[in-house]
Amino acid sequence: MDSTKAEAENIEPSAGKELLDKYWTEIKHEIDDINIVEFRTSDLPLARIKKIMKLDDDVKMISAEVPILFAKAAELFIQELTIHSWLQTEESRRRTLQRNDVAAAIAKNELFDFLIDIVPREEATKTHKKKESVSEVQYIVTLPTSGGMGNTIQLPNGQIIQLPQNLSSNIVTMTTPQGTQQQYTIQQ
């Protein structure tokens, strides 16, 4: 399994299917070669798995092997989802796995369809961000004046800015909160 993790870091986006095939081949060999001690060890807490299982009113008793099997199945599921998400990261030519990679992996693979309602899609979060940026925000800029009231200008967004009286140029450059610069021509 360690070789699969190392290969996942240097994978070409088109080699995703081969990586998954190799992953499942290695997992099958690990399962075939597992001993009792390895079988009973899990990275996930068995007591919590058992507690979740008992949330169902129909479950009265749980055999000792069942939480172990559920833990192993959950580990495999997490690894599979991580590989699919990592392939999305590679397609985006990034080195950091992000939430939108997990969402894209879930959307592209019907194996994960049951998670569609749980994990928000990438488009939904982008649409929400666009709506926030459309709302009007008024920024107040105080420019130094050299005695007395200066001239005022009204920007296209309705904002009024007071200018110093001894303005040396008819062009005023403003930096927006997004970091872009806009130039305004002052007509007198």
Using CA atoms, how far residue 54 sits from 49, 69, 114, 137, 171, in Å, is 9, 15, 21, 51, 72
pTM (two decimals): 0.54
pLDDT in tens, 126-178: 555 555 544 444 443 434 444 444 566 666 666 666 666 666 666 666 666 66
What Rg do the C-alpha atoms of the chain give, in angstroms? 29
Give φ, ψ of 182 to 5 degrees: -125, 140
Domain ranges of the chain: 2-133, 139-188
Alpha-carbon span 170 to 161, nearest angstrom: 14
CATH code: domain 2-133 is 1.10.20.10
Q: Which two tokens stand for residue 6?
A: 């190392």
Using CB atoms within 10 A of its CB, is residue 109 exposed (0-12), middle (13-18) or buried (19+)?
middle
Whole-angstrom distance, CA of residue 16 vs CA of residue 84 = 8
Cβ neighbours of residue 126 under 8 Å, at least 6 residues apart? none
pLDDT in tens, 111-135: 898 988 888 765 545 555 555 544 4
Backbone angles phi and psi of 161, in degrees to 5: -120, 135
**Which amino acid makes up residue 107?**
A
